[in-house]
A = this chain, B = another copy of it.
Amino acid sequence: MSKLRIGVIGMGNMGSDHAKKLNKGIVPEAELTAVSEMDGNRLEDAKTYLQGDIGYFATPDELMDSGLCDAVIIATPHYDHPRLAIMAFTKGLHVLCEKPAGVYTKQVREMNEKARESGRIFGMMFNQRTNPMYRKMHELVHSGELGAIKRVNWIITDWYRSQAYYDSGSWRATWAGEGGGVLINQCPHNIDLLQWICGMPAQVRAFCHEGKWHNIEVEDDVTAYMEFPNGATGVFVTTTADLPGTNRLEITLEMGKLVCENNTLTLHKLGQNEREYCFTTKDGFAKPPVEVSVIETQGDNSQHTGVIASFAKAVLDGTPLIADGEEGINSLMLSNAMHLSSWIGDTVALPIDEDLFLEELNKRIAASKHKVTAGI
């Protein structure tokens, strides 16, 4: 196999974008061989913007059974991700799945089991992991040169959406259609980066406000407090209603502080470990010297293209993925924990009680109302 033959399932915003890129040959290790889309108009549209010998299918099943693909990219609404991924593994195909992997972790666990059983590659489209700033933060934190993490504050409130956005689809921002709001639609990347860089918290207490700023039934305002296994604490604040919003990720460690804001990564580095300094200095108010530097980050921010290329290479050459399917569980586990904590009004330990989460989610799905909308 010289090139990975990829089929894209779902020709919405993301799926059509992936298909176009593959079709233009932007990822040399892969080629677009098929697409599927249940909406007839969209499928016809695809024929106008894609070139060459491509299979067009009305259903994912037909695409998978066509023999045209070695792998699929799943870019459908969230709820279908697990079902389609499992179907693909069962049919012997590799899967690259758009975020979130699913809506609850039990599903994603099953996806990973099926991937293992099938021996196929399961990658997650966590394209923010290709951002050189976050890569550098991950590298610096994991190298150990800055010591243990003490605190993380991420104010990520620049996900502004108007009411028109929510009114554009009857499934949008409903429990039945999306399974959540800003946590499940906008924040999976941030939550993935948080756990990738800082690790998984041991417990979470979150405060999610549903329909606070928009006429929607899911959360559009979240503040989450986290405690990590080593005792570090953290805060994650997000919303789709702040203008202008903020994207400021600050990580304090024993040897200093990393701040990522306005596309700049700044390192404040101590000459000495604070934990040692605290107990050895004779001066109550003194502080050791701090060296402040803007960290030059190298490499392209290849985003989706980079993730697709690494997926193709993983299949072809066995090289590592940018994010594998197990990572889909972690980020969703953290997102689910925030929802569950807010629903039960209490701190929840991780891993969460998945049955309780599903029970609570199902209550909300049962009460979910489809809205009168202007759009698709």
**A interface list, Cβ under 8 A from B:** 150-151, 153, 155, 157, 160-166, 168, 205, 207, 209, 212-214, 221, 223, 225, 227, 231, 233, 235, 237, 239, 241-246, 248, 250, 252, 256-257, 259, 268, 270, 274, 277-279, 281-288, 290
Contact = CB atoms under 8 A, between A and B. Distances in A.
B252 A157 contact: yes
Contacts of A239: 151
Given A162-B286, A284-B161, A235 B252 contact: no
Given A163-B278, A164-B282, 13 more contacts: A151-B239, A161-B285, A162-B283, A162-B286, A164-B284, A165-B285, A207-B233, A221-B233, A223-B235, A243-B270, A246-B250, A246-B257, A248-B248
B221 A162 contact: no
Nearest to A221: B233
A165 B284 contact: yes
A14 B250 CA distance: 34
Contacts of A284: 161-162, 164-166, 168
A232 to B, nearest CB: 10
A209 B227 CA distance: 11
Contact of A241 (B160, B161, B250, B274): B274
Contact residues of A: prevailing secondary structure: mixed
A170 to B, nearest CB: 14
A223 B213 contact: no
Nearest to A153: B155
11 contacts: A151-B157, A151-B242, A161-B285, A164-B284, A166-B284, A209-B233, A225-B225, A241-B278, A243-B288, A244-B268, A244-B290
Contacts of A155: 153, 250
A256 to B, nearest CB: 7
Nearest to A292: B244
Contacts of A223: 225, 233, 235
A243 B165 CA distance: 42
Nearest to A212: B231
Nearest to A347: B345
A279 B225 contact: no
Nearest to A279: B163
Contact of A287 (B160, B225, B274, B287): B160
A225 to B, nearest CB: 5
A263 to B, nearest CB: 15
A33 to B, nearest CB: 32
A221 B285 CA distance: 17
A215 to B, nearest CB: 8
A27 to B, nearest CB: 26
Given A165-B284, A250-B155, A285-B161, A244 B257 contact: yes
Contacts of A286: 162
A244 B286 CA distance: 12
A157 B259 CA distance: 14
Contacts of A214: 278
A277 to B, nearest CB: 7
Of A160, A164, A243, chain B has the most CB atoms within 10 Å of the CB of: A243
Nearest to A252: B242
A288 B245 CA distance: 12
Contacts of A151: 157, 237, 239, 242
Contacts of A233: 207, 209, 221, 223
B244 A287 contact: yes
A244 B225 contact: no
